[in-house]
């Protein structure tokens, strides 16, 4: 019985060996070569992908930084506009109010000083008007508005409006000699320029006249002018 089992095992093993596909050695080598070449080409493809991804990441980072910078600029601009709106919201109203200040100043300047000293009632009235003007300027100052009185200062085209030029030997050229209408500023902006007269510094000095060339009296006679030797005798 044992011999029969060995025979059956041998028959089974033979059938299994005969049923398997036999691959020639050359075909196995040929199949391994494409796989090896594919493995050899894989690293360059991965390197190119890494380079592409790094470039894409750098581009996205640059866009992100630009977007952040743009948003920061927008935020700063909005904050600046908000601050300017808060400071200069009363600009139109201030232009009307400073006109009242001009009229008060004209009323004070219209009263001669010597008459004020002679009339106590008029003096009290002028002092009251002066106090009103002082209080008005104080209120304007609390809102960032100040008066410009540039007499004696150098002419500034950004703050002053020249009405006339006045020749003067005592004042250098380009200096404000008289203020016709006071100017006003609101914060760092000009609300209304001051109307002024500006010195021209007087006429320029004339160059010394050249000495006339010495002429011989005899030359005048030759030129046809009368030549007088002495008193004529009858």
Is 185 strand, coil or helix?
Answer: strand
Residue 27 lies in a domain: no
Q: What is the C-alpha to C-alpha distance for residues 169 and 172, in angstroms, rounded to an integer?
A: 7
Residue 191 lies in a domain: yes
Please give the model's pTM, rounded to 2 decimal places: 0.53
Query: What is the span of the domain harbouring residue 143?
Result: 91-199
Domain count, the chain: 1
Query: Is the pLDDT assigned to residue 226 strictly greater than 70?
Result: no
Residue 149 lies in a domain: yes
Residue 125 lies in a domain: yes
Residue pair 180/148 in contact (Cβ under 8 Å)? The answer is no
Per-residue pLDDT tens digits for 52-105:
889 999 999 999 999 999 999 999 999 888 888 877 888 888 888 898 888 998
| CATH at residue 95 | 2.30.22.10
The model's confidence at residue 111, banded by pLDDT at 50, 70 and 90, is confident
């Amino acid at each position: 019985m044992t011999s029969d089992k060995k025979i059956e095992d041998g028959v089974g093993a033979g059938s299994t060996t005969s049923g398997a596909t036999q691959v020639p050695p050359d075909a196995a080598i040929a199949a391994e070569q494409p796989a090896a070449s594919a493995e050899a080409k894989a690293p360059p493809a991965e390197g190119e992908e890494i380079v592409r991804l790094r470039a894409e990441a750098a581009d996205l980072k640059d866009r992100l930084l630009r977007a952040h910078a743009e948003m920061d600029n927008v935020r700063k601009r909005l904050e600046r506009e908000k601050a300017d709106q808060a400071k200069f919201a009363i600009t139109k109203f201030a232009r009307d109010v400073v006109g009242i200040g001009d009229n008060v100043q004209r009323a004070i300047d219209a009263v001669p000083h010597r008459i004020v000293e002679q009339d106590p009632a008029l003096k009290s009235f002028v002092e009251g008007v002066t106090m009103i003007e002082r209080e008005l300027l104080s209120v304007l100052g609390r809102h960032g508005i100040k008066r410009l009185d540039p007499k004696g200062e150098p002419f500034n085209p950004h703050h002053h409006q020249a009405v006339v030029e006045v020749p003067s030997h005592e004042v250098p050229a380009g200096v404000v000699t008289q203020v016709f209408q006071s100017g006003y500023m609101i914060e760092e902006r000009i609300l209304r320029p001051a109307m002024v007269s500006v010195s021209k510094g007087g006429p320029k000095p004339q160059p010394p006249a050249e000495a006339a060339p010495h002429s011989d009296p005899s030359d005048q006679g030759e030129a046809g002018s009368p030549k007088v030797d002495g008193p004529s005798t009858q």
